[in-house]
Amino acid sequence: MLLNFNVYAQKNTSLWYTKPAEKWTDALPIGNGRLGAMIFGGVDNDHIQFNEETLWTGKPRNYNKKGASAYLPQIRKLLSAGRQKEAEDLAQKEFMGLQSETGDRAKWVREMQSEKRIKGDPSLPNFDDSKWKTLQVPSYEGWELVGLANVDGAVWFRTTFMVPASWLGKNLVLDLNRIRDQDFTYINGALVGNTDNLEPRKYIIPAEHIKAGTNSIAILVLNYFDKGGIAGFKDTKRHIGIFPEGSNVENGVSLVKQWKYKIQDENPPEVPQYQASYQPFGDLNLTFKHGKNQITNYKRSLDLTTAIAKTTYSASGITYYRSYFASEPSQAVVIHLTASKTKSITVDAALSSIHQKSQVKTLSKNSIALHITVKNGALNGESWLKVETKNGSIKILNNKVSIVGANEVTFYLTAATNFVNTNNVSGNPNLINYSRQLGLKSNSYEIVKQKHIQEYQSYFNTLSVNFGSSVNDKLPTDLRLEQFSTSIDPSFAGLYMQYGRYLLISSSRPGTQPANLQGIWNDLLTPPWGSKYTTNINMEMNYWPSEILNLSRLNEPLFKKTESLSLAGKETANEYYNAKGWVLHHNTDIWDGTAPINASNHGIWVTGGGWLSQHLWEHYLFTQDKKFLKAEAYPLMKGAAIFFNDFLVKDEKTGWLISTPSNSPENGGLVAGPTMDHQIIRTLFKNCIEASKVLGEDEEFSKMLAQKVAQIAPNQIGKFGQLQEWLEDKDDTTNKHRHVSHLWGVFPGDDITWEKDKKMMEAARQSLLYRGDDATGWSLAWKINFWARFKDGDHAMKLIKLLLKPAQNGAGSYLNLFDAHPPFQIDGNFGGAAGIAEMIMQSHQGYIEILPALPVELPFGDIKGFCARGGFIVDLIWDKGKLIALNIKSTVGGACRIKYKDKLTSINTKAGETYSFNGDLRLL
């Protein structure tokens, strides 16, 4: 007997707003896995910022330092002796990966000091700066956020200050705090300070350089990479300023104000980088002619069921409609304009890019192209914009498309780069664009739209969710977000879970690169953390929803990336650890860097390959796909296990096998024996042993791993009743660090479960209580999953409310529901979506557990399409907190164990058959 599920229609599947986006994190994202775009929905000017997934800085190169393994014994010896600082210093000098090329900084600084590319001497008090622009100083988070977006280079700043007669004859103090990165500071033409680091600037100004009345300050700021400018204090109440020596800035003159500025040069020498950064591609701006008519009935929205964004509004009795989507079948971003009155659409379309090396050209009477080249890199790209209209006229003037009096307008935007793979940049973006635009030529807009929806829904429609209704359902998304933490709005949690699925579909399709730190969306040349792949949790968190939320096919980019990393990681394993197999440290990029990066106190972390291997095994557990296990997963898992077999060493004090050197991600520095490593390695070995049994091969290797498993340092309970984070019992219960790495064995791993070791599970829970609830966005998402595994749904819901609160210079969510680390990182969206699912169903303990951590605020639910380990698809309905009905479909057959509260039942299933149960788990 099959139960009728989804009696209630899926609700709240759109984000919508009553005003255009004011900033990037207000805009709505669309994507087809390869192309991404952010839709602002402006009335007079509609900004569409777009990306192509393979546009990165850098180039193919070797990231590995030859012969680094020679220093491994000494580093291990220092750590064993408790000499951490010496070990870190040695590792920083001899054990980090190779950086990219370095430009001639000294030469460039000399050129800037010689006033190259600028007339006159801006340091002099009588210099004419009347035509210079103004900028707010300080720029606490970089001048990029106050008017100099994506600028690196040399910028002059000028202002004046008044000196009272009582200050004459005294030395003054100029307190500028931080300047990014170097400065030459002049008072009345005299150089008073020069610093080339981020240390605070407090310059003493000799009395003879000061005069009564107006005095001038001129600062040449040299910014080499990332944030630039006079940065001020993090505590914005502490002003930069000038005051008499022996006094303080409160008794002086504040310099927090608008300064005059002039960009001298935007080509600083190349800065060495350990890894590359994901890049924005370009901008499409649509300028509409509405005159001065009043705009009414404005709405912009994103429909998660169709992956189509829309903007609608009325002006002078005419209603205008815009639709936007990123088509995977057509490999294009499509924008369609219509109006309620014929001949009403008049619009200009212009392409541009923030890349310095960019140009727009005309291709034909109805198409233009944008060509860009990444600075100091190997990659270039081209984007084509083609327009089709019904009625109206099209002209191209100054490489801008002008359309007058059309009934309908459709834009087709394609983009490509010369990236082929990590070792090949010989691609032809011009030819790729030609091919894709040619393919679009044979289809009407309606057919392109229909194919887009059909392909997208093949993923999205595999799962539906309904958590009921609330009074907030009818509110715009920004107001729902504002009120969620203080109201009961269960369907908003359902919307967030489906939004996470939408974002993964949009940023990770088969055949694409995996979703990076920002999915596929980025508008900055120097994005946060390079918008790359941080593998000590963030890259993996992106794919936590993939299996349970019925998006298994979207793992393909992650698995292909893992395969590619395994090839690069073989050389790293050999050069750094004299080991076979493959290794991955805590970050990678499009070029597959696998060596340690950044700093030795956090960059030497060896278990990235082990964590990625867990995703391979989980995919097998969920799908029971033995062909995948044999051909793809097990060879990669085995390669990672071979590395750890060579890498583990016996601890002299305990006799256990330990991981050294490594760290507990980004917390506590370089150490021997972090708990997280041992959980990952132990789990990997056990998974390899189980895979060996399933496949009937590698018996000797399996036996060897089993011997090693018994010797790996176990989880330990410390003096505070906590799960120890390190080999030694040295946890600080006041430490609120965002990483909770030693709980990896609780989630996403299964090294610690209620079934295996209740006391260890309680110790893990105690550790999480000590770590606290407050955290950055992705850390909140991780903690939601922990509390779900601890079966405390109300605590998990508390963290969901922290994750879904307006981000105001802290964690939470931006108006478009992007996760705030801050700034934006997409992993929190994915981790949060997975966490909501974990509250409703878990399957990691050998059975499918229904409603293991249901919070009071989700009393009703109707879900169809959850996936469970063992190859099962689960539909369920609950009401008033109690299970009403359950359907389980078996995709491959076999035994199925089901648990609900204190009831546990087992059935033998046949492939393709569906089994229905009532709320007491009685088979119907």
Mean pLDDT of 482-503: 96
Tokens 């002059």 label which residue? 156
Beta-carbon contacts of 103 under 8 Å, excluding residues fewer than 6 positions away, are 268, 269, 270, 271, 376
Token pair, residue 344, equals: 């009403």
Confidence check: pLDDT of 11 > 70: no
* Res 118: pLDDT: 82
Neighbours of 641 (CB within 10 A): 27
The mean pLDDT value of the chain amounts to 95
Tokens of 429: 């973006």
Dump pLDDT digits (tens) for 88-97: 999 999 999 9
DSSP of 33-62, one letter per residue? SSEEEEE---SSEEEEEEEETT-BS--S--
Among 337, 348, 334, 345, which residue's Cα sits nearest to residue 400?
Answer: 348
Domain architecture of the chain: domains with CATH? 16-55+282-461 (2.70.98.50), 105-265 (2.60.120.260), 524-767 (1.50.10.10)
CA distance 705 to 605: 22
Q: How confident is the model at residue 10 (pLDDT cuts 50, 70, 90)?
A: low
pLDDT at 440: 95
Which residues lie below 8 Å from residue 803, measured CB to CB, with a gap of 6+? 777, 780, 781, 784, 811, 812, 813, 819, 828, 832
- pLDDT computed for residue 4 by the predictor: 46
| pLDDT of the residue at 786 | 98
List, for residues 97-110, the tens digit of each pLDDT value. 999 999 999 999 99
> Measured in whole angstroms, how far is the alpha carbon of residue 435 from the centre of its chain?
31
Rg (CA), the chain: 29
Question: CA 138 to CA 254: how far, in whole Å?
Answer: 11
Per the structure block, which two tokens stand in for 599? 């700093």
CA distances 659 to 5, 519, 566, Å, are: 49, 32, 20
Record the tokens describing residue 270, joined without a space: 């190349």
* Dist CA 176 CA 199 (whole Å): 10
CA distance 396 to 363: 10
List, in sequence order, every residue forming a beta bridge with 917; answer none if it has no partner: 886, 923
pLDDT (0 to 100) of residue 7: 40
Task: Tell me how far apart the alpha carbons of residues 795 and 780 are, in angstroms, rounded to a whole number.
Answer: 12
pLDDT at 809: 83
Residue 8 has pLDDT above 60, yes or no: no
Binned at pLDDT 50, 70 and 90, residue 808 comes out as confident
pLDDT above 70: percentage of residues in the chain: 98
User: Which of these ranges, 41-55, 225-239, 479-493, 815-829, has the smallest mean pLDDT?
Assistant: 225-239
Strands 872-879 and 882-890 come out as antiparallel
Determine the pLDDT at residue 150. Answer: 84
CA distance 638 to 581: 8
Residue 625, SS3? coil
Q: What is the pLDDT of residue 442?
A: 86
Cis before residue 528, ω within 30 degrees of 0? Answer: no
Contact call for residues 853 and 841 (beta carbons, < 8 A) = no
Tell me which amino acid residue 817 is: L
Q: Can you give the pLDDT at residue 467?
A: 96
Indicate the pLDDT class of residue 784, thresholds 50, 70 and 90: very high
Q: Which of 85-99, 116-130, 422-436, 474-488 has the lowest mean pLDDT?
A: 116-130
Phi, psi of 346 (to 5 degrees): -125, 120
pLDDT band at residue 119, thresholds of 50, 70 and 90? confident
Kindly report which listed range (244-248, 581-585, 693-697, 832-836) carries the lowest average pLDDT score.
Answer: 244-248
Q: Residue 3 has what pLDDT?
A: 45
246: how many CB neighbours lie within 10 A of its CB?
Answer: 9
**Are the CB atoms for 615 and 537 separated by under 8 Å?**
no
- DSSP H helices in 655-757: 675-695, 699-709
Q: Please name the residue that has the structure tokens 């977000």.
A: 481
Global pTM?
0.95
Angle at 716 between CA 715 and CA 719, to 5 degrees: 160
- pLDDT tens figures, 261-274: 999 999 999 999 99
pLDDT mean over 450-467: 98
Spell out the residues 6+ positions from residue 294 whose beta carbon is closer than 8 angstroms to its own.
315
Model confidence at 517, in pLDDT bands (50, 70, 90)?
very high
